Copies of this chain bind each other. A is one copy, B any other.
């Protein structure tokens, strides 16, 4: 077997979850997923397709009718995005990997902004690329920030690809439009492709953009720019388990991605695409409600966490995570396992996302029932209080 694969880290999130799986007394907030079932109308469209017998192979790039609907949807957010720039993929993760397969040769240099969902940094390593990470850093208030000049200095003409995820999983950090413009300008100079994972774009709470969505590179770039944007049905439409995403890219890249989709997964199931079509068609009924609820989740959880002794966190402008640090606990994997065992609380360890996130914990606040979040905070509070009693500070 390949050394590159043997050396890939297993998910530290799974390591914590496995330690608590099947334990009814653990409240899990470890995965990046809402606990809400996909809306009825979406599931019914999938069911109707299965009943109609749509069980055959389909187009590599996705059903034409779905690509047209995606074109309308993306155009409404970002200005004209034509159908020939779109490909439907088997999940956002497949979209990311197919994009990298198109762009990254073994030995190529890739720069990634971290902490980030570990899949984004694992994929270039599978392809044999040289990975260089540029770290965000938290300020005194626990708000994570990008040193833009530092990032730009790391991107040279040798850099094949920049990987960036904003709104960011796990920190909630979100690029401003001005920062995106600086990065785009620089990458145009160096000839570097930008792979922008924007799956959380609708889960944005700052209220400083006309359409409510987070700033996107698509708002600034020309169709021919070396820019690939990854999207997913998972977050905005509560469709994680369906495994459906899409890519926006320059028109000349689309046929290449079509070939690669054939060799990766061939196509997404038609009944899944029919469900996605229903999601698109009822998005005005679904997504704003999802976002409003998530904002309520965030605004319930974060102030409670800030009220706990020794806890540092901040209101994330985007995403569905609180990212927090507990004073005196520097080993996040050990801490997360202790919280499972001793507090019945399931969080993801920061070290899963990058070394610089060691000591931090990710709490997914996408909870249908907000009292679950409150109960989680009570558990953490009790655990901290008991610890304070047994351990002299």
Mark contacts of A232-257 with chain B using CB atoms, 8 A cut-off: 1 yes-contact digit, 0 otherwise.
00000011111100000000010110
A105 within 8 A of B: yes
**Whole-angstrom distance between the alpha carbons of A38 and B51 in the complex?**
10
Give CA–CA (A58, B253) in the complex, Å: 32
At the interface, yes or no: A292 with Cβ under 8 Å from chain B? no
Q: A18-40: contact bitstring with B at CB < 8 Å (1 yes, 0 no)?
A: 00000000000001010101100
Q: How far is the CA of A385 from the CA of B175 in the complex (A)?
A: 68
Q: Which residues of B contact A255 (CB under 8 A)?
A: 10
Q: Which of B104, B123, B258, B269 sits near A263, CB closer than 8 Å?
A: B123
Residues in B with CB closer than 8 Å to A119 are 262-263
Q: Is A93 within 8 A of B264, CB to CB?
A: yes
Q: State whether the Cβ of A174 lies closer than 8 Å to any Cβ in chain B.
A: no
Q: Size class of A's contact patch?
A: 35 or more
Per-position binary interface string of chain A over residues 102-117, scored 1 when its CB falls under 8 Å from any chain B CB and 0 otherwise = 1111110000000000
- Is the Cβ of B2 less than 8 Å from the Cβ of A104? yes
- Judge whether B43 and A91 touch: CB under 8 Å: no
- Among residues of B, the one whose C-beta sits closest to the C-beta of A92 is B266
**Interface residues in A66-111 (C-beta closer than 8 Å to B):** 90-91, 93-94, 97, 101-107
**Of B53, B260, B267, which one neighbours A126 at CB under 8 angstroms?**
B260
Q: Tell me whether A57 and B264 are in contact in the complex, defined as CB-CB below 8 angstroms, given that A5-B102, A256-B1 are known contacts.
A: no
Say yes or no: A253 contacts B1, CB within 8 Å.
yes
The oligomer's copy count stands at 2
If A55-B38, A93-B264, A265-B243 touch, whether A256 touches B5 (CB-CB below 8 Å) is yes
B58, B242, B262: the one within 8 Å of A11 (CB): B262
Q: Tell me the complex Cα distance, A50–B274, Å.
A: 14
Contacts of A8 in B (CB 8 A): 259-260, 263
The residue on B at minimum CB distance from A258 is B10
- Tell me if A105 and B4 are in contact (CB < 8 A): yes
In the docked arrangement, what's the CA distance between A47 and B54, Å?
13
With A and B bound together, what is the CA distance between A5 and B99 in angstroms?
Answer: 11
Is A272 positioned at the interface, with any CB of B under 8 Å from its CB?
Answer: yes
A268 within 8 A of B: yes
Question: Measured between C-beta atoms, what is the minimum distance from A159 to chain B in Å?
Answer: 15
A151 at the interface (CB under 8 A from B): no
A10 lies within 8 A of B259 (CB): yes
Q: What are the interface flags for A269-297 relative to B under an 8 Å C-beta threshold, 1 for contact and 0 otherwise?
A: 11110000000000000000000000000
Q: How far is the CA of A126 from the CA of B102 in the complex (A)?
A: 9
- Distance of A117 from chain B, by nearest CB (Å): 11
Given contacts A5-B256, A50-B43, contact A267 B239 (CB under 8 A): no
Q: Does A46 contact B (CB under 8 A)?
A: yes
B-chain residues with CB within 8 Å of residue A259 when the two chains form the complex: 5, 8, 10-11, 122
> Is A128 interfacial (CB-CB < 8 Å)?
yes
CB-based contact A265/B43 at 8 Å: no
Q: Please indicate which of the listed interface residues A50, A53, A119, A271 has the most CB atoms of chain B within 10 Å of its own CB.
A: A50
Among residues 334 to 376 in chain A, which have CB atoms less than 8 Å away from a CB atom of chain B? Answer: none
- Nearest Cβ in chain B — how far from A60, in angstroms? 8
Task: Give the 5 A-B CB pairs with smallest separation, nearest first.
Answer: A106-B106, A37-B53, A38-B55, A55-B241, A56-B241
Sample (12) of A-B pairs whose CB atoms are under 8 Å apart: A1-B256, A2-B102, A8-B259, A33-B56, A38-B53, A43-B50, A43-B51, A47-B51, A93-B263, A94-B265, A119-B263, A243-B267
